Structure 1
Amino acid sequence: MQPLFPLLFLFLTLSSSFSFSSSSTTESTLPSDAVSLLSFKSKADLNNKLLYSLNEPYDYCNWRGVKCSQNNVISFILQNIKLNGTFSPNSLTRLTHLRVLILRNNSLFGSIPDLSSLNKLKILLLDHNHFSGSIPVQLNLLDRVVSIRLDSNSLSGTVPVIEIRGLKIFNVSENKLTGPVPFTATLSRFDATSFSGNPGLCGEIVHRTCDSHSRFFNGDGDGWNGSGSGSSSSSVAPLGESQQSQGIVVVNSAPAKKKRGTKRNGLVLGCSVVIVILIASVIVAVVLVNKKKHSFSRKEQREKAVAAVVEEGVSETVDGNDVVEVEAVTKMRSGRLVFCCGEVQEYTLEQLMRASAEVLGRGSLGTTYKAVVESKLILTVKRFDGGKTAATSGEDFEKRMEMVGRLRHPNLVPVRAYFQAKGEKLVIFDYQPNGSLFNLVHGSRSARAKPLHWTSCLKIAEDVAHGLAYIHQASSLIHGNLKSSNVLLGVDFEACITDYGLSLFADPSLTEEDPSSTAYKAPETRKSSGRASAKSDVYSFGVLVLELLTGKHPSKHPFLMPTDLQDWVRAMRDDDGSEDKWLEMLTEVASICSATSPEQRPTMWQVLKMIQGIKESVAMEDNTQNRL
């Protein structure tokens, strides 16, 4: 069997060139850029403002708003022309050489499509339309863009994490956005005016607290500056000054003796008041000191009890599950709970201490718990094991968690908070209700059970590729420890990556001893001196795809040449042959990713495009069969 690598790329290239179906034989032979423009017009120009017509092969370069270079559309500007329609996702997104896209001041509605394929885009102005839905998280993948304007629309949802080094203009004001504005290095460069007109936004950038539960004391304290004695005394001027200001002359006559008596009485009264105040202050101080001592004593006793529980390793078992108090998981002598990226503080450190926690698993960094706070809020808490983690300073841990905490993507399990104290580190994630990919593939399945259906494999592979590509594009981070147990299943069974960016804290000497983890690692990282990279993440992804396709753990994967890999996957699945074509393509992607040499591996962005190409090809074939 010959390698399928050239065949795969030829297939993907052809499929991307003819992804737009057309009832006209003539239109199917048009240049792809012309097809993209006509597809946009068909949905966005319902009032027929654009009189596009094609008389010559490259006539589209003379159409209104279009500018070309070497017959490739590089600029598309249509503003103030009353366009009325939707922005089709399979139209302008195909203009891969596009640098300028301006559709401002029209009446376009519907959602903004994923524009991440426009990787040369520098200017994106979609303001003053009627776009709705959420801001596409894929905007963060436009790493060359310098200007993004989405203001004066009807966009809802949250502001996604934006980390684009060269971004100079960003405006999402006058929409319906809610939630915390991510405090990233990029977004922090813009002031509150870039987010104004969105009453539901909060966070440091917009100067609005996200803690809706905060209460401020507004009680009787106002009286201290109100109608009390202080204000009345300040309104009375000394008698002499008052009279002089009215032109009255005070004659120094007989009442002088009475004046001296009045002064003496005032002095006695003043001294009495001072003495009373001093006595009252002493009494109050004594009460406060006693109360503080009592409070401190109770706190000290509680901390000693917690420390004793931790040191003795006490835990209880309820209904067959390991259940511990978070007091037995956390040493609370010092430290603070830090919420990431403007997150709302839904619970306190004390509440987290009191939460019950069920052990979900133990990994290379420590133990992961399902914690239930106040009997309603469910969290995932990872407690680092000091014996398994590398020595890192508190400052390094905080810096890394700040970077990790900024990442937000539908295929990442978000980090909500972290805690560190002497000898203790916790990371708090959202809880994912449907378990891990490892459990789905290996957990309750018998040894003779078939692997997942190939469509499920394709969907999961696409989700994981999306999440990894986002990590690599949106930050300087890598995952470093991708495996099926670090891929969780969300509410809708979407695949979500967890533990990303935390491999820095793992002790490399211990991971070498773990064959289940070593099997996922790229050859160049299997020694303690080898450093993980984005390309080593790609290798782990390739191994993960093979695990999906075969149902076999990577520790049981044989070492095969690419020409033999197809036969092995087919043998492990024992299929009837109806899905061979798609399996071969997905296996080829896995083979390319798991190449021995890092230089031969594609980037995750390229891998994502390959998988999306397979998905589009499947959809096209299904549509063709349905029409037949």
Structure 2
Amino acid sequence: MEIRERPRTAALTAALVGVLLALAAVAEADTDAADVAALGNLFTSWNSPSQLAGWSASGGDPCGAAWMGVTCSGSAVTSLDLSDNNFHDAIPYQLPANLSYMNLARNNLSGNLPYSISNMVSLEYLNLSHNSLFQEIGELFGNLKSLSELDVSFNNLTGNLPISMGSLSKLSSLYMQNNQLSGTIDVLSNLSLATLNIANNNFSGMIPQQFSSIPNLIVAGNSFSNMPASPPLAITPPEKPSNPQGPVSAPTSPEILIDQEKKQGPHTGPLIGIAVGSIAAASCVLFTLVFCLHKSRKRNDDSNSEPKDIVSSLEVNIERAPNVEIRNSNHENTAVTASVLQPAGKITPERVHGTNGSAAKKAKIPVTATSYTVAALQVATNSFCQDSLLGEGSLGRVYKADFPNGKVLAVKKIDSAALSLYEEDNFLEVVSNISRLRHPNIVPLTGYCIEHGQRLLVYEYIGNGTLHDILHFSDGMSKNLTWNTRVRIALGTARALEYLHEVCLPPIVQRNLKSSNILLDEEYSPHLCDSGLAALSPNPEREISSEMIGSFGYSAPEFAMSGTYTAKSDVYSFGVVMLELLTGRKPLDRSRERSEQSLVRWATPQLHDIDLLAKMVDPALDGMYPAKSLSRFADIIAICVQPEPEFRPPMSEVVQQLVRMMQRASIVRRHSDDLGFSYRAPTERDGGAGDIF
């Protein structure tokens, strides 16, 4: 009996050990919660792309479930390879902090490099090549002491190289070719690089002598003063495995001739002869000119007239030539001079010349907004740290600013790469125009800063987030958006656009109307931000294609097809925002089946069918809305999103229709500080729990 039990006991022991090992494996596979949240945010930010097999926006175990492109070490996500997909939109701010390898190459990503990269202290390999990234690179590299290979080639990156790039002590391979980077490259001179490709940018100055020790160096297609006479063969980064074990060296290139002038051949004799002849000819011309000037002055003296300094006149004309009249800002987006805005006098483009003929700065532009120093804004934003970051757009990042006096404001730090020279020169004019916008549903500009080459805008802080975040990303918050509240948000936004289009002279087109640009205060009243900033939009060559912009769901058909944008295009975008309010859906959602991905295409045929319309309503409303009000709301949407711009109504008509809709619903009182109206939802005392219209 004892002998028979032993095998059974051994089997049970083995089974128990197997179960324990399995449980241990499961426990070990549990992914760090912060990494799960970061991957979930990335998934939703890119509209839940179907090609990311196994991914989920609602948590999960990326390490244990082997999400596509994700590699882990223990519970930490250490490798992320999502290259060669067709992902759009920007790279989200939140990324797994423990990554040592990240490859997002060959997608269609736009925007700039997120600041969260600066916190990836274990990062060894970063590849963002072959995308549509633009703006400046940013100071991201101060903590990346382990980074050995960086590839940002084939993008639209602009501006100077960040100073922090000089601290990349372990960097071996750097690829930045085919961008629009400018300035000098001195910051790279002390790096121990084996491969450097900076071809086809706008770099200038001198190629550092230290570069002569770099085995694989490509510098062609720039404006260096000591550029090699003939460029070497191109070096492109080698293909990388999905989980590299270390940096891969590029193939050796031919010798780089940096000091080409030291290696001239035996043809210097003819060159010297040509130079001597040219100097002699120039001397003759100069002698003739001086002689003529002398004779001219003598004739003037003989005739008792004032001496005429021809050379001085030429100097003045040369100085004045580049400073001829600055083009007038007659574009519909660039100026606000209506009497209702109380213009502070006409801004003239004249330049004042001193007695020595030198050009002084143009006449000072009157600005009512407060001027801040960079130091004050740095203190208020904790040196523009990640914790103060509120958002990011095409012009730059927005930070929360807490001032010592208790005042809380929002600071938009504009990337210099987003401004052309003309826009930089006229920054104060734009600030002056925007600071005079006065409407309860437009975020007011209160200050600015232009110190030390910086361009910053200071706005009032609206603290309840964006309409986009509350509708799409906040658990339970969308339930606070009752039907009354949603109609109020629509009306307030419509009034803001009516003001811009029909009160301001010349009219202002918002150009970037979307739910993420509608801020909500504590009472859920809307405040439109970025109004008037179209005058500072990125240069056309740095903008992403109109097709890409159109695909995001807000842009009118005429803009997506031809780049034409008018006030009627704003009306279309407003109709899309109303659809978001009605349905709770994103304008473009690739996680849905193909027929439902475009909100406008899916919703438009159903707007006039009362049964289908009821099925479209945001589930967060829980059926608490009146059918007649819903139908009228849908009618307004339908006329706003018509494909032909000429059939869309002006915003004043949209405002009137929304007001009439609410008047029919027996609005009980009005007061001036809440969109012009105040609304009351019935309580149980009134005999019902629904809304009043």
**Shared fold (TM-score, shorter chain, > 0.5):** no
TM-score band by shorter chain is 0.3 to 0.5
**TM superposition score normalised by structure 1:** 0.43
The higher-RCO structure (CA 8 Å, 6+ apart) is: 1
When Rg is computed on C-alpha atoms for both structures, the one with the higher figure is 1
